[in-house]
Structure 1
Amino acid sequence: MTITISRAGPADLDALAVLFDAYRQFYGQPGDVARARQWLRERLRFGESVVLLARRGGALTGFVQLYPMFSSVRTAKTWILNDLYVDAGARRQGVARTLLDAAAAFARTDGAAGISLETTLDNTAARALYRAAGWHEDATQWYSLAF
Structure 2
Amino acid sequence: MISYRLERAVLQDAELIAPLFNEYRVYYGQEPDLPGALHFLQQRLETGESAIFMAVTGEGGSRVAGGLAQLYPSFSSVTLQRLWVLNDLFVAGQLRGRGIGTMLLEGVRDFALNTGTKGLTLTTMTDNLSAQRLYEAQGYVRDDEFYTYDLFF
TM-score of the two chains, using structure 2 as the length reference: 0.87
1:10-43 Cα offsets, whole Å, 9 max, x none, are 2211121111001101111111110001111111
Superposition CA RMSD, Å: 1.5
1:89 Cα deviation after fit = 1.4
Q: How many residues align?
A: 141
Within the candidate set 90, 94, 102, 1:89 is matched to 94
1:94-133 to 2 correspondences below 5 Å: 94-133=99-138
1:70 is aligned to 2:70 = no
1:135 is aligned to 2:136 = no
Contact kept in structure 2, 1:54 and 1:99, CA below 8 Å: yes
1:29 is aligned to 2:30 = yes
Q: Which runs of 4+ in 1 moved over 3 A?
A: none
1:140 Cα deviation after fit = 10
Structure 1 unmatched runs, 5+: 142-147
The 3-state SS of whatever aligns with 1:82 is strand
Contact kept in structure 1, 2:16 and 2:64, CA below 8 Å: no
What percentage of residue pairs aligned between the two structures are identical? 38
Structure 2 unmatched runs, 5+: 147-153
Cα distance in 2, alignment partners of residues 127 and 18 from structure 1: 24
The 3-state SS of whatever aligns with 2:142 is strand
1:136 Cα deviation after fit = 0.6
Give 1 or 2 for the bigger CA radius of gyration.
2
1:144 corresponds in structure 2 to: none
Q: 1:81 to 1:88 in 2, by over 3 A?
A: same
Contact kept in structure 2, 1:69 and 1:80, CA below 8 Å: yes
Q: More strand per residue: 1 or 2? A: 1
